[in-house]
Amino acid sequence: MRIAVDIGGTFTDLVAVDDRGQVYRSKSLTTPDDLARGIQDCLSGAEIDVAGANFFVHGSTVTINAVLERKGARTGLITTKGFRDVYEIGRGNRPEGYNLFFKRPVPLVSRDLRVEVNERLYASGELLQPLEEQSVMAAIGVLKSGAVESVAVCLLHSYANPIHEKRLGELLRQYFPEAYVSLSHEILREFREYERTSTTVLNSYVGPIVSRYLVSLEKMLGDSGFSGTFRVMQSNGGVMSAETAMKTPVTMMESGPVAGVIAAAHLGEQLDCRHIISFDMGGTTAKASLIKDFHPEVTSSYYVGGYVSGHPMMLPVVDLVEVGNGGGSIAWIDPAGGLKIGPQSAGASPGPACYGQGGIEPTVTDANLIVGRIDPEYFLGSGIRLQREKAAQAITEKIGQPLGLSLEEAALGILTIANFNMSLAVRAVSVEKGYDPRDCVLVPSGGGGALHAIAIARELSVPRVIIPPMPAHFSAFGMLLADLKHDYVQTFVRELSETTGAEIADAFASLEKSATEILTEEGAAPEQIVLRRFLDMRYRGQEYTLPVPINEDLRAISDFNAIRSRFDQLHQEHYGHSAPKEPVVMVNLRLSALGRFENRLSLASSSSGGDEGERGKRRVIFDSGQQPVDCPIYLRSGFKAGDRLDGPAVIEEQGATILLYPGDKMRVNELGHLVTDVAS
């Protein structure tokens, strides 16, 4: 049996598949005080004995929550003399140019815990000033007296030559063995001092917390009899061993949401959909990502906490746009009388008012209940019985009465604004990047994705929505589809016209050696290892680069005309212009190393139809100003391949509700996906 668990801000999801292909799934409320307890609840709910499993993969919000809530370890930073303030100064950009009260991000390491050592390298990696070990011992003394738990080391130009960082790491482990240590060259070998420092600090800031959590999780699994392979989901769309995760926990920042994108990419391959927008709506946030030609868009410009006030992390991350709107997002009225949704969330505890667990704030889930879109007796497959009177009280007191709206009007207002906010995320990964949503297919996931997908598709004129099997557990299922994956980068600045293929191949060789070694350690056989090369390139005088895939045998290259043309074409696609006569500079070598799993699971429904059919009707309000509709209710398990259904209709399954608007046309394809053509 293979088991995947995704811990979200509100719910913990489990999907398991045994060797007969039978799928098990369960969902429970996340337990923030003890996340392992939520996993145990899911195992119990699915009636699974983890001792019988041979594979367990896991993704969670532990890492990103520690940063967003500033609850990471007390961290110190060691850097080259004269550069301690690089981390605080950052860049000269001003994300909110008209905000008079704009404040720069607050560093995770205070100035008194940022210490310097005497050493210096040239940008080429050549020695300018040897490492003065006396200054290292003084720095260690300062950090010890400051009671730090974790240390980040980021020396100037160590990406080119890590000799001083390696020695400093040896001294730290000798004289400060109790501290968690991150060396920048082991995290990121790319120039840009501020981003490299920030990435290393993030790794140290979350390192002790993630290490303790993974150790406790491994113990819990071991005590339960599990002796199989344990993997952790990464932000780049791959998985890694727990040992690697403890060394580089910063790579786990978006481990949960990314898995849903990986599953959507596999769905695109199965159905030959080349342009997919993955939309994941959970209890706390909603995320959107673009999948182009079966590959998710990946970025190295990621900010933990958002671009305006977040911390840069210069590692490959599946490009997600996230908004603070989920099922548990709280509706509130600002001082000017405007209705707002999120980013505050009721979370798992106390949860929305309708949960009856002490929540008093109105949420998106409460609004869906009031307008009849979800069944109080069948929420999450009867996992929770919702209390309509509690939802009505919260919406009336907090929204309806202050704005002079009826209960239904207030609920529709909440849903309208929430849908618009979430459509901005979908717009950001499509329209704002030059892709027409009318050429894309929307694939929803998460507990609320299928419920809100049609409304968002209508907002952006997306013509088709494909709802996969188990949408509420899609991210967990995606973890079972993910490969082992590690990304490597090495700054290698050269004029393209002044280098040779052999020189580039030699530079790639060391990255490929490291990649092969770690994938082999993690259990990948030689025939499973796939290495993908990229060159980060730019026109001379530009600041930022584009990654250009390299498929050629570099040692056999006599000229770079084909690679140059590929770069010009990519520049034209991304920016709408190119300059074929301008000199081109190569900046970084980038390697994506995969350890591909065998025996792919299928994204197909095992349902073959049943005799449930229509299980009654419920009054549902679809749009403002319209009368409630007596809407037929179906169980998804009652459909089989070839079945068709015209909206309006509500389709319910374990963990999710699917809403078809009037005029929508749904059919069930041969794999059990619900393919819906959205009414214009």
- Cα-based distances in Å from 202 to 109, 196, 461, 519, 535: 10, 10, 39, 24, 26
- Stretch 252-256: mean pLDDT: 84
pLDDT at 194 over 80: yes
pLDDT at 611 over 60: no
> Pseudo-torsion of CA 243, 247, 250, 256, nearest 10°?
0
The pTM of the full predicted model, rounded to 2 decimals, is 0.86
In the structure, what pLDDT confidence band is assigned to residue 607 with cuts at 50, 70 and 90? Answer: low
**pLDDT tens-digit map of 32-71:** 778 888 888 888 888 898 998 999 999 988 888 888 888 9
Least-confidence region, from 31-45, 225-239, 464-478, 636-650: 31-45
Is 672 part of any domain?
Answer: no
In the structure, what pLDDT confidence band is assigned to residue 380 with cuts at 50, 70 and 90? Answer: low
In the structure, what pLDDT confidence band is assigned to residue 610 with cuts at 50, 70 and 90? Answer: low
Q: Could you tell me which residues come within 8 angstroms of residue 620 by beta carbon, excluding any fewer than 6 positions away?
A: 371, 372, 373, 628, 629, 631, 648, 650, 659
Phi, psi of 234 (to 5 degrees): -110, 165
pLDDT at 11: 82
Say whether both 113 and 92 belong to one domain.
yes
- Pick the residue with more confidence: 137 or 647? 137
pLDDT at 612 over 70: no
pLDDT at 463: 95
- Pick the residue with more confidence: 284 or 673? 673
pLDDT at 197 over 90: yes
Say whether both 526 and 564 belong to one domain.
yes
Choose the final residue of a domain: 234, 251, 268: 251
Which amino acid belongs to residue 60? Answer: S
pLDDT at 613: 63
pLDDT at 145: 96
For residue 205, give both structure tokens. Answer: 């800031």
Is 331 part of any domain?
Answer: no
Is 348 part of any domain?
Answer: no
Is 324 part of any domain?
Answer: no
Is 201 part of any domain?
Answer: yes
Choose the final residue of a domain: 595, 626, 655: 595
Q: Which helix (H) or strand (E) is 526 found in, with range?
A: none
- Stretch 135-157: mean pLDDT: 97
Say whether both 39 and 113 belong to one domain.
no
The segment with the largest mean pLDDT, out of 163-167, 271-275, 312-316, 480-484, is 163-167
- Pick the residue with more confidence: 177 or 357? 177
Say whether both 63 and 76 belong to one domain.
no
Say whether both 61 and 118 belong to one domain.
no
Say whether both 80 and 195 belong to one domain.
yes
- The count of structural domains within the chain is 3
CATH number at residue 532: 3.30.1490
pLDDT at 293: 87
**pLDDT tens-digit map of 233-251:** 999 999 999 999 999 999 9
Provide the percentage of residues in the chain whose pLDDT is more than 90.
Answer: 64
Say whether both 109 and 151 belong to one domain.
yes
In the structure, what pLDDT confidence band is assigned to residue 324 with cuts at 50, 70 and 90? Answer: confident
- Pick the residue with more confidence: 600 or 370? 370
HSE-CB at 83 with a 13 A cutoff on CA atoms is: 19
- Stretch 484-493: mean pLDDT: 94
Mean pLDDT of the chain: 90
Is 394 part of any domain?
Answer: no
**pLDDT tens-digit map of 328-341:** 999 999 999 999 99
Residue 455 burial (CB < 10 Å; 0-12/13-18/19+)?
Answer: buried
pLDDT at 419: 94
d(CA 318, CA 485): 13
Is 504 part of any domain?
Answer: yes
- Look at residues 196, 234, 191, 194 and name the one whose alpha carbon lies nearest to residue 314: 196
pLDDT at 544 over 60: yes
Provide the percentage of residues in the chain whose pLDDT is more than 70.
Answer: 97
In the structure, what pLDDT confidence band is assigned to residue 432 with cuts at 50, 70 and 90? Answer: confident
For residue 190, give both structure tokens. Answer: 């790319």
DSSP state of 447: T
Q: For residue 12, what are the domain limits?
A: 2-67+210-251
pLDDT at 537: 96
DSSP state of 628: P
Choose the final residue of a domain: 578, 595, 612: 595
Is 338 part of any domain?
Answer: no
Say whether both 40 and 159 belong to one domain.
no
CATH number at residue 247: 3.30.420.40
Say whether both 216 and 236 belong to one domain.
yes
DSSP state of 664: -
d(CA 486, CA 288): 23
pLDDT at 599: 55
Say whether both 184 and 79 belong to one domain.
yes
d(CA 250, CA 502): 33
Say whether both 13 and 61 belong to one domain.
yes
Say whether both 88 and 199 belong to one domain.
yes
